[in-house]
Chains A and B, each alone.
Chain A
Amino acid sequence: MFKTNNVASRIFERQIRTPAPGTSVHSARRFYENLVPSFTIYDVECPDHSFFKFTDDGQYFVCFSRNRQDLIVYRPTWLSFSCKGEDCDNNQELPPQAKRFESFFTQLYVKRLASCNELICKDFFLYMESNQYGIFATSTAQIQDARGTDGAILGVPSFEKITIHLFRLEDGFKLDEKVFHNDCVNLTHNMGAFLYDDLLAVVSLRYQTIHILQIRDSGNLVDVRAIGAYCREDDELFLNSSSQLAGNRGDLVDNGTNHDQPNSNNSFLSGIKQRLLSFIFREIWSEETDQTQRVQCLKKKFYFHFQDYVDLVILKVQFLDRHHLLIKFGSVDVGASRNTDQLPAFFAVYNMETTEIVAFYQNAADELYLLFERFCDHFHATSINSMYMNFISSHSNNIHALEQLKSMKNKATSVSQFVKKMLSSLPLNCQSTSPSPYFDQSLFRFDEKLISATDRPRQSTDHPIRFISRRQPNILKFKIKTGPEFGGADGRSKKYSHFLFHPAWPLALSFIQPSLFLPPSAVNIHFRR
């Protein structure tokens, strides 16, 4: 849309021309080509906290204390300084007062989050932008010898107490909490929870229940439903009343049975397991028209694998919209095993209102992959409120990302392995990609192996990370250098680097860690001078 690259002439052009319909945000984002974080302050002296994340609206910077008990929230600001003397503007060096962490971040508050025997899960944070509420999690240590209790499945670790906290980030006021006792929720990288608008889904692995909670504007966490053993709110009542009848008849037949056995062994499968199995049954049933063929098909495909289907456990969940969930089913060993590609996994689309399974896919299903390729954006289910989510580059909304995907597909040795690998990222983690325009593939080209919108620590290189403009190929816009080249002294030691970009400003932090488990040895600030 702009004819020149000069920022002043672009501003002038913006005054007299309107962009093509529907592209006003895209053309506004092109100004990020001109405002880049090209200046670096190396090795900033900063408080010894575990810096975690910018909120997606850029208002808060969330950190946890090293002992993982406190929450510290900063407000990102911009540096301001005064200098005495002549020719201040042309000074290459910033005055020392400006080169501090406090120039960029103002501490708002420190709040104790975890009580004495609990620790904050330092990879878990969800942000509700509309009310500026933050969701954190704390948990006690893992119980070593978890006894099987009623309803709990075996093979899953147990934690005495897992708490989900709801905080108002403006002032650090704790609004509400939800406690899970003797349970297991996978809290790393937001895997066990998904926030959509005001609905929060939490997967209780141990009790195989999906808890749907609603965050009210008043700050209350309200239970909406619990999907697992029961699908509708009155299922429990109905099943209990009917199992009483079965129990009466059963007592006459088997007197010597152990009455400590959980009820589910004696009665039929209920809840989501029943919905799943009946859906699979009907699908296989409707494949053949001939009656004998049908029965053969059922025997082969359904009854032969019946116990495997019954043993499936809910692993991960995401919202597709307010009523539909995408649930990943798998074997209970997945948590322990590293090599998740080999184990079978299934995806089901479940409608919470009608309590029906709408679709069921194997983890290498081409159909699901096609949907993922074409509508990837809709898997990043978000409400209409957060507009910036529409502009996060994915292979469904960006031609460069799509080309990258296609070239990966062509290079892959086996299509089904490629499909499995792509689908293993489903259901997607909530709020795991940074909305920073510097990761916009239509503005910049960068090496995805060194830096990307999903902030994870990666092995760092000594070379600076280059961000090259897309529109003017081969013109370097800016470089992120993580440290002065160390040279031969510790050239062998592998370092890990980790980046946090502010969602809107030309501001980024980089952290250099000697190992994944140690705190960062250096923190750099990259910003536009």
Chain B
Amino acid sequence: MGSMLGNLPSFDPHNFSQLRPSDPSNPSKMVPSTYRPTHSRTLPPPDQVIATEAKNILIRNIYQRAEEKLRSKHAATEHLIPEHGCKQTRPSTS
């Protein structure tokens, strides 16, 4: 069938001589191998939606630091609300 490259210069004309291009009358029996996972540990959760974070990195950092401060200093903010109750305006007495 002649070289696939025709008469183009090549290092070794016998390269690619074994190769038979696929032709429709003689379908190749080779099936590409498929790989299936053996576990489901890496599956994403079924309701996962991937979206771009709306907040930019600066805002994210600012919020992160604020939360860290709150956590690390054992904020007792929940004690504040029952102590003060609901605020009522008082007439000024001064």
Binding site for B on A (CB under 8 A): 242-243, 245-246, 249-250, 253-254, 266-268, 282-283, 285-289, 320-321, 324, 349, 358-359, 367, 371, 375, 378-379
Contact = CB atoms under 8 A, between A and B. Distances in A.
Interface stretch (B16-24, B25-33, B34-42, B86-94): B86-94
A249 B59 CA distance: 45
Contacts of B92: 250, 253-254, 266
Given A371-B62, A375-B58, A286 B75 contact: yes
B66 interface: yes
B58 A286 contact: no
B91 to A, nearest CB: 5
Interface string B41-68: 0000000000000011111011101100
B91 A358 contact: no
Contacts of A287: 73
B62 A286 contact: no
A253 B57 contact: no
B89 A286 contact: no
B14 interface: no
Given A286-B69, A375-B61, 19 more contacts: A253-B92, A253-B93, A268-B89, A282-B75, A282-B77, A285-B76, A285-B80, A286-B73, A286-B74, A286-B77, A288-B73, A321-B55, A321-B59, A358-B62, A358-B63, A371-B58, A378-B57, A378-B58, A379-B58
Nearest to A378: B58
- Residue of B77, B89, B93 with highest tally of chain A CB at under 10 A: B89
Interface of B: 55-59, 61-63, 65-66, 69-70, 73-77, 80, 89-93
B55 A246 contact: no
A245 B89 contact: yes
A171 B73 CA distance: 59
Contacts of B65: 359, 367
6 contacts: A253-B92, A283-B69, A285-B76, A349-B62, A375-B57, A378-B58
Contact of B89 (A246, A283, A378): A246
A288 to B, nearest CB: 8
Nearest to B75: A286
A285 B77 contact: yes
Closest 5 CB pairs between A and B?
A: A286-B75, A378-B58, A375-B58, A249-B91, A250-B91
A99 to B, nearest CB: 47
A288 B79 CA distance: 13
B58 A243 contact: no
A286 B91 contact: no
Contacts of B55: 321
Contacts of B73: 286-288
A286 B77 CA distance: 7
A266 B73 CA distance: 36
A337 B92 CA distance: 36
B55 to A, nearest CB: 7
Contacts of A359: 62, 65-66
Contacts of B93: 253
Contacts of A242: 89
Contacts of A367: 65
Nearest to B90: A246
Contacts of B61: 371, 375
Given A282-B77, A286-B77, A320 B89 contact: no
Nearest to A246: B89
A267 B63 CA distance: 32
A250 B90 CA distance: 9
B74 A267 contact: no
Contacts of A289: 74, 76
Given A289-B76, A378-B57, A246 B91 contact: yes
A349 B60 CA distance: 12
A43 B91 CA distance: 72
Nearest to A374: B61
A456 B66 CA distance: 37
Nearest to B72: A286
Contact of A320 (B58, B70, B90, B91): B58
A191 B17 CA distance: 76
A25 B89 CA distance: 60
A142 to B, nearest CB: 36
Nearest to A367: B65
Contact of B59 (A245, A286, A320): A320
A358 B66 contact: yes
Contacts of A268: 89
Contacts of A378: 56-59
A313 B65 CA distance: 25
A227 B69 CA distance: 27
